[in-house]
Amino acid sequence: MRRLYIMHNTLIEDWLKLAGGKENIKLVEHDKGTTTLVLKDNTQLNMSVLASTYVVADIQVTGEQCHLRIRDESSLIYNALLGMDAWDSTGTALQEAGHAKKNRFSILHFVSDVFMPLMPAILGAAVIKIIVAIIALMDTYSSADSSALMDSQTFTIFRIIGDSVLYVLPVLVAISTAYRLKSNIYVAASIGGLMFYPEMTMLMSGEKEVHFLGMPLVSQPALYSTAIWIILTICAAAYLERFVERWSPKFAKGMLAPFLTLLIVVPLVLMILGPVGTWIDEYLPEALDSLVANAPVISVMLLGAVFSLMIIMGLHYWMLAIIMNDMLMNGSSMVIPAILVAIVGQAGAALATALRSKESASGRVAFWATGTALLGVVEPALYAVNMRKRSSFYAALLGGAAGGLYFGLLSVKAFAIVGNPSLVSLPLFSEEGSLNLLHTCIGVVIAFGVSCGLTYWMAGKGQKRGQGSPKSSIE
């Protein structure tokens, strides 16, 4: 095992020369402050660069593999290597030398990649939530003698288990985003858990106006913990962390970056989202309420199309005020049917993706996501399946719009408030002496069929265009 030192201004170039070029690097790993380069061919190791080195590291040859372990400045080297075209986010070489391919960045794909590692936990919790919802619905329509389970502490605990993953979802999203960006996951978790702090929850409860540095903060804490805002916040935190780590003195490394990240990013997010949330809180419910009252057909169609976007942006929390106002004034709501077809549209697109998928793992996730979406838990289908492909995502929006148009034309209504409408909640659309429930079922079929058919058709066209094109191989 030998020590080597590399001058800072030629750090990356010398490491690549030592490794025999970037095409000779099989894997880049970073763990516990050490960056390791695993080489494909030991004979390509260029030992001549050892004459001009300053940073401490180790070279270890084990069998046919050669490991270059970098300790000093390892984070800077690792992030610089990941920024090159030759590696993807996991640090694995994408293709053989001379055939490097740079993937086009997509915000939808990035968000989907953030959610993919979270899918086992989300799907598991979703199944529990669905079982609890079915039991609650059966209890509602059963005799009074069978209501013990609904009121029992056991039932309450199962409900909490099902809700727990979604409750801590901001923290999980923050950790997954930081892991993908190779930033500090513990700082990210601290940022994601901002709204879980009891005093912050009480402060944002809406009992009185809250100001931060003179700026008003909206009394809707769910806005600050929405996935897209958490992801953007962690992206900003990762950028600031790298900048500080690059320029901070060695004695302050590991401490200065987390300190400045928490000190700057969290207040900055509150200052940006505070006025934005206040403006939304003031104008969005009023505008949507007016649109539903004056143009019900157009409003239901638009809500069916854009409700998925509202979920992503965290704006769907404001729909409850509109629904409650409708229920108080009219005893029914046309907003809930629009939400229903938006969710069903996501389910249809997810099913088509599952049918077209050539990878068993992604196909299984898509099938499970379809089932959970039909039963009211839309996050797996939305984030992990449909956002990975723009065609699937747009088809889901069009399916929601088609179902919403039918609902608007037939004046379909819901007669009870439900959190996430689903196939389980269809009895809430029943009205004695009317065909409202039948039209609800027809609208659901339209939304599902349009989104599923469009996704399947566009996926088929994409596969035909891709035939004959060279495919990249991952080491």
State the pLDDT at residue 101.
Answer: 40
Residue 472 has pLDDT above 70, yes or no: no
Cα distances (angstroms) measured from residue 145 to each of 154, 168, 321: 17, 36, 35
Strands (E), 46-128: 57-62, 65-70
pLDDT confidence tier of residue 442, bands split at 50, 70 and 90: very high
State the pLDDT at residue 361.
Answer: 66
Using an 8 Å Cβ cutoff, are 353 and 452 in contact? no
Using an 8 Å Cβ cutoff, are 437 and 429 in contact? yes
- Sorted by where each begins, the domain ranges of the chain are 2-82
Using an 8 Å Cβ cutoff, are 139 and 147 in contact? yes
End-to-end, the C-alpha distance of the chain in Å comes to: 27
Rounded CA-CA distance 459/448 in Å is 16
What is the 8-class DSSP label of residue 183?
S
Rounded CA-CA distance 129/335 in Å is 23
pLDDT confidence tier of residue 352, bands split at 50, 70 and 90: very high
Bigger pLDDT: 48 or 111? 111
State the pLDDT at residue 30.
Answer: 61
CATH class of the domain at 2-82: alpha beta
Q: Of 274, 282, 170, which is closest to residue 232 (Cα–Cα)?
A: 170
pLDDT confidence tier of residue 350, bands split at 50, 70 and 90: very high
State the pLDDT at residue 387.
Answer: 86
Cα distances (angstroms) measured from residue 170 to each of 142, 187, 357, 469: 37, 13, 29, 39
Rounded CA-CA distance 20/48 in Å is 11
Query: Which of 102-111, 364-373, 419-428, 465-474 has the least mean pLDDT?
Result: 465-474
| pLDDT mean over 353-382 | 84
Task: Give percent above pLDDT 90 in the chain.
Answer: 19
Bigger pLDDT: 8 or 226? 226
Bigger pLDDT: 243 or 218? 243
9-19 in b/e burial notation, b at 16+ Cβ within 10 A? eebbebbbebb
Bigger pLDDT: 7 or 473? 7
The SS3 call for residue 39 is strand
List Cβ neighbours of 430 (8 Å cut-off, separation of 6 or more). Answer: 415, 436, 437
Tokens, residue 329: 């004034």
pLDDT confidence tier of residue 471, bands split at 50, 70 and 90: very low
Using an 8 Å Cβ cutoff, are 382 and 119 in contact? no
Bigger pLDDT: 109 or 98? 109
State the pLDDT at residue 268.
Answer: 82
Tokens, residue 80: 């610089």
Residue 311 has pLDDT above 50, yes or no: yes
The SS3 call for residue 434 is coil
pLDDT confidence tier of residue 278, bands split at 50, 70 and 90: low
Cβ atoms within 10 Å, residue 213: 8
State the pLDDT at residue 57.
Answer: 53
Q: Is the dihedral of CA 455, 352, 107, 381 positive or negative?
A: positive
Angular region, 304: left φ>0, alpha ψ -120 to 50, beta rest: alpha
Using an 8 Å Cβ cutoff, are 101 and 472 in contact? yes
Using an 8 Å Cβ cutoff, are 223 and 314 in contact? yes
State the pLDDT at residue 169.
Answer: 87
State the pLDDT at residue 64.
Answer: 57
Max intra-chain CA distance, the chain: 90
